[in-house]
Every structure is written in structure tokens, then in C-alpha cells.
A and B are shown apart, each in its own frame.
Chain A
Amino acid sequence: MTAPDAAGLHRRTQDLLAAHPPATTGRTEFLKARFDAGLAWVHYPAGLGGLDAPRSLQPVVDAELAAAGAPDNDPRRIGIGLGMAAPTVLGFGTDEQKQRFLRPLWVGEEVWCQLFSEPGAGSDLAALGTRAVRDGEDWVVDGQKVWTSSAHLARWAILIARTDPDLPKHRGISYFICDMTDPGVEVRPLRQITGEAEFNEVFLTGVRIPDSRRLGPVGEGWKVAQTTLMNERVSIGGARVPREGGMIGPVARTWRERPELRTHDLHQRLLTLWVEAEVARLTGTRLRQQLVAGQPGPEGSGMKLAFARLNQEISGLEVELLGEEGMLYSDWTMRRPELVDFTGRDAGYRYLRSKGNSIEGGTSEVLLNIVAERVLGLPAEPRNDKDVPWKDLAR
């Protein structure tokens, strides 16, 4: 079978809609039918929700289905499964694993989380200490993970653990799929700076994972994890943003509507940030145009850096602009939100939550190193951790 073009996808989409009218079809039933028609992620292989079509044609399908009122699979709720687990399973999984996991993942029946970071292994993720010890057909896992979004909702987790402490750190890691309902998996909310628990800590005590749920060869887990992490960083700047579409929007509106709050100092800072937000928007637009033109540029690595700093500065300014009101906070009650919602919240929340933007998904310091070394070609700093057995590293 040859890969379909835009016209072919249009026809298949219309066939799907005709066979399963959204108005009279249940949400899950429709999504399953869409997956089986190869219209879930068209660039995936046939039989696994795709048709081997160019990835750039996905918007053709999405737009037609949205226009027809078809349910979507709510990628925000299942973002980790879609963005990180799926490409890794596709790249490294066995046929059985792909058949078992990809469909319920995409449909949203099964939520995924990511058991990577640990209290002692953040930016230096390869230093992780969670152990997986072989016992017959199983691996027995002990350790602690942290910053786990959706762990309390998740059925499955992608997990990296140390299988050989005598090897240098990058070589003694293996990659597993962990069943979050298994005995020994304990999820505790991790309350944050905002007062909420958007993340979790996950304690793993004698958790038994069958070897059939290992992803990739033993000891090759770091290589597998690179696929996951690369996909994590790719998922930036997807949508077209209108002018004042980001955090600058609420503060600009406040400025326009409440002249009594204006000062000259704040005016100068607001204008500077307004310009930077507009330029960041244009840089994102240019990046997308490069992608469409088939000339992907390295600007993506930089966009997260820019937005992290802008979000922090703009929300900080906003608290000051609001003055007395800025000294108040909406609610410190400990809650476990399903989604991070920046713009629906007040300035104090934005100010505090945006502090995480320069830490999560790669700290700004690590991203600057990546830009310096991979984009600019500057030499790496000398390292003394690459050839030392993990067990001998300073911790």
C-alpha cells in the first residue's frame, strides 16, 4: 500500500464520518474507529493508528474532523502518553507491546506518566539511583521518583531504572513499562510553590515488572530515553499564536482598563516586554514556516528559553502593576488539578507557577548548554563522570 496524499486522507476521513456519524456514535467508540481507520496519527504505521503518511498532513484530518463535530482525544490530559510514551514504544517496542499499548493510549482509555526524575537526579538524569534487579522472569524495582504529572490518574508509566551499578552511569540503565496499579507503587501528591499538587512523588517498593515489559535491550535504557526526551522538547510552539496571545495579554488588558494603576516605570518595562513577547511570537511563526518548508531550524531549542524568561518577567510585572491587589492570592487550598491553566488564573499564581518554566523539561542552564554545543558547536566542558562506575560517583 502506498501512503495516501491529502486527497486520500480527505476521502478516508469522509468515509469514517459516514460510517460513524459523531452525533450518534459514542466518544470512545468513535475514537477507536478513527484509530482503526489509520487517522489517529497519520504518520504512524498502518495497523497502529496511522497510514505511513507525511506528518504534515495530520492537520488536514484534524480540521475536517473538528469541523464535523467529532470528539477529540483531549491531548492535554494524555499529553505524556501521546508526546513521550508513544514515540518511544513505536521506536523500541516489540510488536506485542505496540499492539497492546498504542490504541488505548491514543484513545485516552489509558493515561500514562513518566517515571524519570528523582530527588538526586534532575538535570543529571543519568545519575538516577532507582534499582531494577533481575529475579527470574521479573525485575524487582526499588526507588523514588519525583515531578510525576498525572501519576495519580495513570494506568501505565515509562520508567528508567539502574540495572548495573558497576557500569558508568549512562550504560547501566534499562527502560521499562511499569503498571501503576501493581503492589509496591505508591503515589503521593507533591505540594508546590503555588499551594497545589500538580505533580506527585512516586515510591517504588519491591515492584515486580515482567521482562516482557522491558523496552529495548538491557543496559540500553539511556539510548531509549533519548527518544523520549527529544520528543519532549519537540512539542513546543505548535500552534499559531495571535498578537498578545501569551501572558502579555492579561497584563496589557489590565493596563488599558485601569489607568489608575499606571506609573512611568511600569510603562517602560511593559513596553519592553510587549516588544519581546511580540518578537518571540514572530520567532515562533518563523520556526513553523521553516518546518512547513522542510527546512527545520534549530530555533526550537531556544523558544522554551525565551518563553520561560518572558513568562517570569511579565507575571512579575503584573503583580507589581496590581499593587495592593497583587499582594493577595486567590486560594492556598491544596488541590490536585488535572491541567496547568496559566491564563485562567490570577497574577500571583502565574508569577509563582512560571518559576517552574525555567526548570521543567530541561532547566534553562541545560538548554543553554545544548544550544551552545549542538547549535553553535562550542566544545563541551571536560567531564569526570563518563567513565566512572555509577556506584563510585559522588552523591
Chain B
Amino acid sequence: MTAPNDETPTPDLLYSEAEEDLRAAVRSLLADRSDAPTVLARVESDTPYDPQLWKVLAADIGAAGLLVPEELGGQGAGHREAAVVLEELGRGVTPAPYLTSAVVATETLLALSVREGPAIALLGELAAGRRVAVLAAPFAAGRPGGAQPVAVVADTLEGTVTGVADAAAADVLLVPATDGLYAVEPGAEGVAVEPLVPLDLTRPLATVTLRGAAGTRLADGASAVGAVRRGLLAGAGLLASEQFGLAEWCLTETVRYTRERHQFNRPVGSFQALKHRMAQLWLEVVSARAAARNAADALASGSPDAPLAVAVAQAYCSGVAVRAAEECVQLHGGIGMTWEHPAHLYLKRAKADSVAYGTAGQHRTTIAELVELPAP
């Protein structure tokens, strides 16, 4: 990319009516099946994911197939619509493998540019919500393309991938290996998925160990590298919408609470010191929405501006989500420190999200390259 000029594209940063309808459907589902007490109860159980919730979200509402063309069994929508789903999942800090399966794994398979074979069959299964696939790359995989491939020894896979998000919920692992991309069944011989104790209870992490594991090869080396990069780019870009949704919930809830909570014979929300903090946060939240919509729109239109739009959104939205969650805890006072109030779930999700798919600093480094503001 050359230095910026007047030819920057004009994105569509609003929501369409269809997107608002989709949002309403997802929000209503989450209100019914995944309110805060339900989420809290689930995260300490052995099954953090509610299969019924996933079935309705992925299959009945059709959210899992938004990125997938209709002829491949999907909804033929795009990243803008998937971003709206993620806004709602962020608002509800919902445990569901949407970002990892319906966005990253799906986008990776789509980017293989094949029209038939096992990758296409799998894509159809993902789009229909019948299976969940997860890319076997660290959730913290710095910059897009930064994932280390596992080794291929005598036609079997050998290696360890740490910190894989949602691996525990996966029916299929997409494993980037030195000579291509493989589909691996988590229950197969030589495959171990060991749960870790995650900071973010609503998105489990696991270590995937492959010892002579067999897999189905979906693509060769060069094709796999490009596809994984695109999967991670879409993941980073749409994560910004999850971060925006999360931040918006934190602000709304904090405003609601400080209007009701009285101290010193006044609602605490009437104190200027607190009002200014919430007003400042509001400004950051509406800015985060613009940045996140810009990334979703750039991904949807296949704009050459997409890598920059994604890096800008990530460099900005990560910090806003963390700040919103931190302010939410602080302005709730002691209640914000309790286990029963959901604020901690938001803080944990926001902080983990700020590392996921690259930290803000790593995305700024990408920006420095893209807009030619080189380091000394």
C-alpha cells in the first residue's frame, strides 16, 4: 500500500434493516437461553457450551452460515452480518464457539478456493451448524499468519499447539502443518485435547497435542498459509465487534446502576467525577463501533484496505473493551468485585480478547508498515 491519500474508500458504517432483524433474533435468543445467571452457572460446569443454544443460533437462525455462499449450504450473507452476531455475543459474554468456528475456521476453509472435496463438505457441515471446527492455532497468535505449523512425520502429524480457543467444543480441528492444512478428529488416536484453566471462563482454552495423528489433508502448503492468514484476519477484524458489544453492555449497565445506587443522599451517577468518566467512555464506545463497522465492511467487500481497517479496529477496540469492563467493575463498587455479579465475566473476556489475535501493540506495528510510518 502506498502512503495515504484522498482515495481512501468510503465504507458503509450503518446497519441495514436485515442486520437489525438478525440482531433482534440473536438478542432475543440470548435473553431466553443465556442470561447472566445461566452463563455463570455454566462456566463452572463441565459443559460451558449449551448445545441447544448453539443449535438455535447456528442452525435455526442460520448464524453459522452467514459467511458461506448459498451454493455451499450457507446463508450467502457476509462479515457485516456476522459482526452483528458477534456484537450480541459480546453483549451477553456468551459462551459459544462462534468466532472460532463460524468465522475463523469457516473463513479459512473458504479461502482455500476449492470447489469440491473434503474442505467443501466440511464447510457445508459448519454452515448448517451440524459440526464445530476450530483452527489449531494459539488464540494469542500474534499477527495474522504468525501461527507455527506442526510437523509432518511419515504422513502423520507431530506437534503441540498451545492455548487453542474452543478446542474442547470442536468436532474437527483444522491443523496447519508444514506441508498443508489437515482436518483432524479430536477423538482420533494420537490426538489429545487437554483443557487449561483460562482467564476468560466463557471461552475455554486447551492444549492440542498430536503424536502420530492421522488427518485428512485439505490443502497444500502455500494454499494453507494464505488461507490461515485470511482466517486470522477475519477473526481479528470481527473480534472488534465482539469487543464493541461487550464495551457497550458495560457502559449501559454502569449507567443504569449509577442512576439507581444512592450514596451521600444522591444517585452516585449525579457526581460529576463519575459522569465525566462515563461520558468519556461513551465517546470511546461510539468510536469503537465506527472502527469495528469499518473493519467488518472492509472484510465484507474484500477491500484492499481490509488489513489496515482490521489493524485499526483491533488497535482501538481492545483498549476500549478493557477500559469499559474495568470502569464497570470500579463504578459498581463492592458489588463489581463479587462472583454473583456478571461484571467479572466481562472483565475477563475483555482482557483475554485484548491478547487474542494480536495485542493492540502488535496491530500498531502492522499499521506502521501499512501506512509507512516506520520505526527508528
B312 close to chain A: CB less than 8 A: yes
Identify which of B9-17, B111-119, B133-141, B214-222 touches chain A.
B9-17
Complexed CA–CA distance, A49 and B246 (Å): 49
Give A275-293 as 1s and 0s: 1 = Cβ < 8 Å from B's Cβ atoms: 1101110110110011001
Would A373 and B275 be within 8 Å (CB), given that A256-B373, A264-B375, A275-B316 are in contact? Answer: yes
> Residue on A with the closest CB to B285?
A302
Does A286 lie within 8 Å of B14, measured CB to CB? yes
- Cross-chain contact A371 with B4 (CB below 8 angstroms): no
Which A residues are CB-close (under 8 A) to B12? 289
* Closest chain A CB from B372 CB (angstroms): 6
**CA of A240 to CA of B11, assembled, Å:** 12
> Do B279 and A270 touch (CB < 8 A)?
no
Residues of A within 8 A of B276 (CB): 365, 368-369, 372
Taking a contact as CB atoms closer than 8 A, the residue among A243, A256, A289, A368 that contacts B275 in the complex is A368
Contact flags B277-290 to A (C-beta < 8 A → 1, else 0): 01110110011111
* A375 CB–B CB distance under 8 Å: yes
Closest to B252 in A: A376
In the complex, are the beta carbons of A378 and B278 less than 8 A apart?
Answer: yes
Which stretch of B263-271, B340-348, B350-358 is in the interface? B263-271
Main secondary structure, interface of B, reads helix
* B18 CB–A CB distance under 8 Å: no
B374 cross-chain contacts in A, Cβ below 8 A: 259, 262
Contact with B along A238-263 (1 / 0, CB 8 A): 00101110000000100110010011
Q: Are B275 and A378 in contact (CB under 8 A)?
A: yes
Complex-state Cα separation, A232 to B118, whole angstroms:
62
C-alpha gap A382/B262 in the complex (Å): 14
- List residues of B (1-42) whose CB comes within 8 Å of A's CBs: 3-6, 8, 10-14
Decide if A72 is an interface residue (CB 8 Å cutoff): no
Asked if A279 contacts B316 (CB within 8 A), the reply is: yes
Q: Given A252-B373, A267-B373, decide whether A286 and B13 contact each other with a Cβ distance below 8 A.
A: yes
> Is the C-beta of B371 less than 8 angstroms from some C-beta in chain A?
yes
Residue of B271, B288, B294 near A381 (CB, 8 A) is B271
In the complex the two chains form, what is the Cα distance from A267 to B364 in whole Å? 10
Q: Report if A282-B291 is in contact (Cβ < 8 Å); known contacts: A255-B373, A378-B255, A378-B278.
A: yes
Shortest distance from the beta carbon of B169 to any chain A beta carbon, whole Å: 33
Q: Is there a chain A Cβ closer than 8 Å to B230's Cβ?
A: no
A274 B367 Cβ-Cβ under 8 A? yes
Q: Are A274 and B289 in contact (CB under 8 A)?
A: no
Q: Which residue among A270, A278, A283 has the maximum number of chain B CB atoms within 10 Å of its CB?
A: A278
User: Does the CB pair B259–A377 fall under 8 Å?
Assistant: yes
Kindly provide the distance from the CB of A87 to the nearest chain B CB, expressed in whole angstroms: 26
Question: Within the complex, which residue of B255, B270, B287 is in contact with A279, where a contact is CB–CB below 8 Å?
Answer: B287
B368 near A271: Cβ-Cβ < 8 Å: yes
Which residues of A lie under 8 Å from residue B367 when comparing CB positions? 271, 274-275
A271 to B351: give the CA distance in the assembly, Å: 21
Contact B278 A259 (CB under 8 A): no
Candidates A240, A270, A278, A372; contact of B278 at CB < 8 Å: A372
Tell whether B79 is near chain A: CB-to-CB under 8 Å. Answer: no
Which of A244, A306, A365 interacts with B4 by CB under 8 Å? A244
Please tell me if the beta carbons of B279 and A279 are within 8 angstroms of each other in the complex.
no
**Complex alpha-carbon distance, A371 and B284, angstroms:** 12
Residues in B with CB closer than 8 Å to A268 are 361, 364
Chain A nearest Cβ from B15, distance in angstroms:
10
A46 at the interface (CB under 8 A from B): no
A302 touches B282 (CB 8 A): yes
Inside 8 A of B203's CB, which chain A residues have their CB? none
B290, A378: Cβ atoms closer than 8 Å: no
Residues in A whose Cβ lies below 8 Å from that of B14:
286, 289-290, 293, 295
A262 touching B375, Cβ below 8 Å: yes
B80 within 8 A of A: no
Flag if B286 contacts A299 (CB, 8 Å). Answer: yes
Question: Closest chain A residue to B368 by CB distance?
Answer: A271
A-B contact number at CB 8 A: 137
Task: Check B315 for interface membership: any CB of A closer than 8 A.
Answer: yes
Which residues from B are CB-within-8-Å of A271? 315, 364-365, 367-368, 373
Q: How far is the CA of A378 from the CA of B266 in the complex (A)?
A: 12
Asked if B282 contacts A279 (CB within 8 A), the reply is: no
**B376 on the interface (CB 8 Å rule)?**
yes
Chain A residues closer than 8 Å to B368, beta-carbon distance: 267, 271
Q: Please name all residues of chain B whose beta carbon is closer than 8 Å to the beta carbon of A264 when the two chains form the complex.
A: 375-376
Q: Are B270 and A378 closer than 8 Å at their CB atoms?
A: yes
Do B364 and A275 touch (CB < 8 A)?
yes
B258 CB to nearest chain A CB (Å): 7
Closest to A261 in B: B376
Q: Is B293 an interface residue (CB 8 A)?
A: yes
Contact assessment for B8 and A243 in the assembled complex, using a CB-CB cutoff below 8 Å: yes
Which residues on B sit within 8 Å (CB–CB) of A323? none
CB neighbours (8 Å) of B45 from chain A are none
Q: Which residues of A contact B361 (CB under 8 A)?
A: 268
> Any chain A CB within 8 A of the CB of B272?
yes
| Contacts A302-B282, A371-B279 given; does A286 touch B259 at CB 8 Å | no
> Is A339 an interface position by the 8 A CB rule?
no
Verify B376–A286 contact, CB threshold 8 A: no
CA distance A278 to B291 in the complex (A): 9
Residue of A with least CB distance to B12? A289
**A218 on the B face (CB < 8 A):** no
Across-interface contacts of A270 in B (CB, < 8 A): 373
Which of B269, B271, B287, B361 has its CB near the most chain A CB atoms (within 10 A)? Answer: B287
Min CB gap B2→A, angstroms: 12
B257 to chain A, nearest CB (A): 11
Partner of B372 from A256, A286, A297, A381 at Cβ < 8 Å: A256
Verify if A305 is at the interface (C-beta below 8 Å from B): yes
Complex contact A285–B269 (CB within 8 A): no
Is A379's beta carbon under 8 Å from chain B?
Answer: yes
- Interchain CB contact under 8 A, B13 and A282: yes
In the bound complex, what is the Cα–Cα distance between A264 and B368 (angstroms)? 12
- The 0/1 profile, CB within 8 Å of B marked 1, for residues 363-395 of chain A is 001011101110111111110000000000000
Query: Interface of A with B (CB < 8 Å)?
Result: 240, 242-244, 252, 255-256, 259, 262-264, 267-268, 270-272, 274-276, 278-280, 282-283, 285-286, 289-290, 293, 295, 297, 299, 302, 305-306, 365, 367-369, 371-373, 375-382
Can you report 18 A-B residue pairs in the complex whose CB atoms are below 8 A from each other? A256-B372, A267-B368, A268-B361, A268-B364, A271-B315, A279-B291, A283-B290, A285-B13, A368-B280, A369-B275, A369-B279, A371-B282, A371-B283, A376-B255, A378-B258, A378-B259, A381-B271, A382-B270
Contacts A242-B6, A289-B14, A378-B275 known; list 4 others, CB within 8 Å. Answer: A267-B373, A271-B365, A285-B10, A305-B280
List residues of chain B with CB under 8 Å of any chain A CB.
3-6, 8, 10-14, 255, 258-259, 266-267, 269-272, 275-276, 278-280, 282-283, 286-291, 293-294, 312, 315-316, 361, 364-365, 367-368, 371-376
Which 9 pairs between the two chains have the least Cβ-Cβ distance? Answer: A372-B275, A371-B279, A262-B376, A286-B13, A379-B270, A282-B290, A302-B283, A283-B290, A368-B279
